[in-house]
Amino acid sequence: MEQKLEQTTLEQEQAFQAVIEHVINYTKSDQGSGIMKQMQPRFVSCNLAQKEITIAYQVEEWELNPQGSMHGGLLCAAFDNAFGMITHYFAEDNFITTVDLATRFLKPIPMGSELTITVKVRSNGRTLVSLTGEAYVNQELLAATSSSTFMILRGKKTQINNLKIQN
C-alpha cells in the first residue's frame, strides 16, 4: 500500500510539472503574446507537496532601466508570471486574475544574469489563492521578495490548460 501511495505522489508530481511546463510552453508559442512571451520563462523545478515552483529568466538588454539593471516593472511581471503559472494548476481550467501584487526591491539585477523566481502557495481556497515569492540573481543573491493574491474565476473556462488536471 505504501508503494502505491508513493506512485500516486509521483504521478501527482509529474502532473503538476506537466501543467507548469504546459503553461510556459503556451506562453512561448504562437498563441502566447505580450510580455510573457518576450521574457521567455524557463522551468527549473517544482514541488507539489510544498506547493512551490521555480522559474528562470535571462535578463536581456531590452529589460534594463536607465541605471542598467532590470526594470522594476519587468521584475513585477516576472513574479506575476510565476504566480500565475502555479495558480493555473489549482484553478484547473478556470480563468484566473491577479487581485494584488506587492514587490520589495532589495538589489539590482544586472543584464546577462539569470533571474530565478521561486513562488509558493500559502493559502488555496475555492476562490482566492495567496502566494509569496523570492527572486535571486544567479541563484545566490536575494534581489526581491513579493506577495500576491489571485482570484479563480469559476465558470469562466480557459483554453490554456488543455490537459486533464487532477489535484
Report all structural domains of the chain as residue ranges with CATH numbers, in order of start. 2-157 (3.10.129.10)
- pLDDT tens string, the chain, 167 residues long: the values are 344 445 558 888 999 999 999 989 888 877 766 888 899 999 999 999 999 999 999 999 999 999 999 999 999 999 999 999 999 999 988 899 999 999 999 999 999 999 999 999 999 999 999 999 999 999 899 999 999 999 999 876 665 555 444 44
**Ordered DSSP codes for 108-153:** --BTTPEEEEEEEEEEE-SSEEEEEEEEEETTTEEEEEEEEEEEEE
Would you say 44 and 54 are in contact if contact means Cβ atoms under 8 Å apart? yes
Mention every residue, 6+ apart, whose C-beta is less than 8 A from residue 109. 59, 69, 70, 75, 115, 135, 137, 143, 144
Q: First-to-last CA distance in the chain?
A: 20
pTM above 0.85, yes or no: yes
Angle at 89 between CA 142 and CA 80, to 5 degrees: 40
pLDDT at position 128, please? Answer: 97
pLDDT at position 153, please? Answer: 92
pLDDT at position 30, please? Answer: 74
pLDDT at position 157, please? Answer: 64
Residues 162 and 2: their CA atoms lie apart, in Å, by 31
pLDDT at position 166, please? Answer: 40
pLDDT at position 158, please? Answer: 64
Residues 140 and 110: their CA atoms lie apart, in Å, by 14
Quick one: how many helices (H) and strands (E) in the chain? 3, 6
